[in-house]
Amino acid sequence: MKSILITGSNGYIATEFVKQFAGKYNFILLSHKTTPEHITWDELNKNQSLIQSINIVLNLAGCNIGDKRWSVKRKREILSSRIETTQKIVNLFNVRDKKPHLISASAIGIYNSNQINDEETKIDYSHYGNFSEEITKCWESEANQYLGPRTITRFGVVFSGDGGAFPKMLKPFTLGLGGILGDGSQYMPWVALLDLLNALDFLMTYEKQGVYNIVAPAMKNNAELIKLIAKTWHKTSFMTMPKFLIKILFGQMGEELFLNSIKVSPQRLINDKFNFHYPDLESALTAIKNKML
């Protein structure tokens, strides 16, 4: 049984991954505080035999970018929570002969909106077009310093009924206030939670390296997404939140997360014949409504 060191182990994705694969892997969970299930960085550094036992590092560290407005202080927290942990991983294992497989999270915010992006899209790590790019490019730049086997996973927005972004997206509909954001033309790459977890397991099992986009293959814009949510939950969707109001209410965070349009293809997963349980929005939304996802 392979041993996996997980950073960001209190987060939603990490928690769900541990539940899903509890019988397949041995988990070493890193946290800021010691608990019966978690250890700290200091404790790990002192335990050489534990370090030697690690086969895979799943780097999911980073505070939620959508929780608060992006003040100067919050931006520092978002960046430091990702960069500092990744630096610790790199520094811990680069000096050792045995280097575990590093699977480091990133996000589709690294791409621009002028094309359909896949893993072959060239990334200029020296330039940031917006804060979303700065987060992901700085995060990946640190991970790319790792000298062992390395995989960068760029997540889309995670869809699930009990966590991630979707419950917040659904709430306005339950209040009769569901509707299009801006003009509705913007694309938001997404992935069902089960497919994300299975994709991570797939990359570990087959020791895949390089960049992987973890998004669903079927893309739809905001207007199409809203229409499908309303249809699935039998709700109205006549409201519209104009761009200027989103900018007033949410600032830069709202502009980048709600209004930016990005098209992303999971081409490498498709080439590898990965089986998406929920390749399209219709199947994912029906599963969420029926409490299957």
What pLDDT is attached to residue 221?
96
How do residues 157-197 score in pLDDT, each as one tens digit? 999 999 888 998 999 988 888 999 999 999 999 999 999 99
pTM: predicted TM-score of the whole model, two decimal places = 0.96
What was the pLDDT predicted at 144?
Answer: 98
pLDDT in tens, 264-282: 999 999 999 999 999 999 9
What average pLDDT does range 137-148 have in this prediction?
98
pLDDT per residue over 94-117, tens digit each? 999 999 999 999 999 999 877 899
In order, the DSSP letters of the chain are --EEEEESTTSHHHHHHHHHTTTT-EEEEE-SS--SSEE-HHHHHH-HHHHHH--EEEE-----TTSS---HHHHHHHHHHHHHHHHHHHHHHHTSS--PEEEEEEEGGGS-SSSEE-TTS---TT--SSHHHHHHHHHHHHHTT--S-EEEEEE-EEE-SSSSSHHHHHHHHHTT--EEETTS--B--EEEHHHHHHHHHHHHHTT--EEEEES-S---BHHHHHHHHHHHHT----EEE-HHHHHHHHHHHHIIIII---EE--HHHHHTT---S--SHHHHHHHHHTT--
Mean pLDDT of the chain: 95
pLDDT number for residue 19: 97
> pLDDT category, 17, cuts 50, 70, 90?
very high
Q: What percent of the chain has pLDDT over 70?
A: 100
Q: Who wins on pLDDT, 174 or 138? A: 138
Predicted confidence at residue 164, as pLDDT, reads 86
Q: Mean pLDDT throughout 79-89?
A: 97
- pLDDT confidence of residue 32: 85
Complete domains list, the chain, with CATH:
3-289 (3.40.50.720)
Question: What is the pLDDT at residue 12?
Answer: 95
